[in-house]
Amino acid sequence: MTEIRNIVILTGAGVSAESGIDTFRSAGGLWEQHRVEDVATPEAFARDPELVLRFYDMRRARIQEVQPNAAHQALARLDAEWKGGLLIITQNVDDLHERAGAGRLLHMHGEHLNAWCLACDGRHRWYGTLLDRPSCPTCGVPGQMRPDIVWFGEMPYRMNEIYAALNRADLFVSIGTSGAVYPAAGFVRDAREQGVRTLELNLEPSQGSHWFDEARHGPASEVVPEWVDELLRQQSG
């Protein structure tokens, strides 16, 4: 096996599940309780902003009640101790990776704790409600702030950086994601085409499980720390 130096990790809702944040596609998950087209599209926001803002206000409040789990902590440890290249690409819009201490991190689907002003394009850290249609702290225009979340039909963030990192990678690891939403679901194939080794860590086989060279199944709080320990042992050995 080629020596591993550059690692790209993709994380999804499964990493935060054991912190108490609902995943999207499990039984009782967020998309079983809400229709995506009612709460997670620009059209929904134009049609019924109150419904959309109320949904995201609840999600924003919820993530502030929970704590990072052993999977976030293990990835933060990997970030601190891995001497080679590393990028954690998260589809998650919570802040649990950074609260655990991860720094080499990119939020491709936006962040609950950011508000985006459609009038001036400014982003602001936001912990409270958006439902009362606040004015933008920068430009002062009222009623133009929306959650800084990438909705269906919108372009995920920082794709150039992501593909550049995948091009340099020796190992691509997908953790806690169902492989249902593109472009993230396609990263494993992009990686494979470049000859990058691929590993899936998930509770169960994902939709794209067959694309991975190796899969380890179990709760993220167990399989992620085990894998990180193994990798750091290899580095020091």
Residue 207, marked binder: no
The least CB distance from residue 173 to ligand OAD, in Å, is: 13
- Taking the chain, what is the end-to-end CA distance rounded to the nearest angstrom? 16
* Residue 107 known to be catalytic: no
Residue 176 CB, shortest distance to ligand OAD, in Å, is 4
Cβ(94)–Cβ(15) below 8 Å: no
Instruction: Say whether 120 counts as a known binding-site residue.
Output: yes
Q: Which residues of this protein are in contact with ligand OAD, per CB under 6 A?
A: 12-14, 17-18, 23-26, 29, 40, 91, 109, 150, 176-178, 180-181, 202-204, 206, 219-220
**Count of C-beta atoms within a 10 Å radius of residue 58:** 11
CB of 74 to ligand OAD, least distance (A): 12
Residue nearest ligand OAD by beta-carbon distance: 14
**Cβ pair 14, 23 in contact under 8 A:** yes
- The distance of Cα 100 from the centroid of its chain, to the nearest Å, equals 14
Q: Can you tell me which residue has the tokens 């054991």? A: 18
Query: In a 3-state reduction of DSSP, which class is residue 191?
Result: helix
Output b/e per residue, 101-140; b: 16+ Cβ within 10 A. ebebbebbbbbbbbbbbeeeeeeeebeeebbeebebeeee
Minimum distance from CB of 198 to ligand OAD (Å)?
16
**β-strand 86-90 against 105-107: which pairing, if any?**
parallel
Query: Which is closer to ligand OAD, CB of 6 or CB of 178?
Result: 178
56 is in an annotated binding site: yes
User: Toward ligand OAD, which CB reaches closer, 12 or 225?
Assistant: 12
The active-site residue out of 72, 97, 107, 109 is 109
The owner of tokens 């150039």 is: 160
Cβ nearer to ligand OAD, comparing 165 with 225: 225
Q: Is 93 annotated as a binding residue?
A: yes
Q: 29 or 49, CB closer to ligand OAD?
A: 29
Q: Which is nearer to ligand OAD, 215 or 220 (CB)?
A: 220
User: Is 23 part of any known ligand binding site?
Assistant: yes
Contact yes or no for 41/120 (Cβ under 8 A): no
The residue written with tokens 């909705």 in the block is 151
Question: Residue 92, annotated ligand binder?
Answer: yes
Cα–Cα dist 75/80, whole Å: 9
The least CB distance from residue 166 to ligand OAD, in Å, is 18
Detail the residues annotated as belonging to a binding site for Zn(2+): 117, 120, 136, 139
Detail the residues annotated as belonging to a binding site for substrate: 56, 59
Detail the residues annotated as belonging to a binding site for NAD(+): 12-31, 91-94, 176-178, 202-204, 220
Catalytically active residues, by annotation: 109
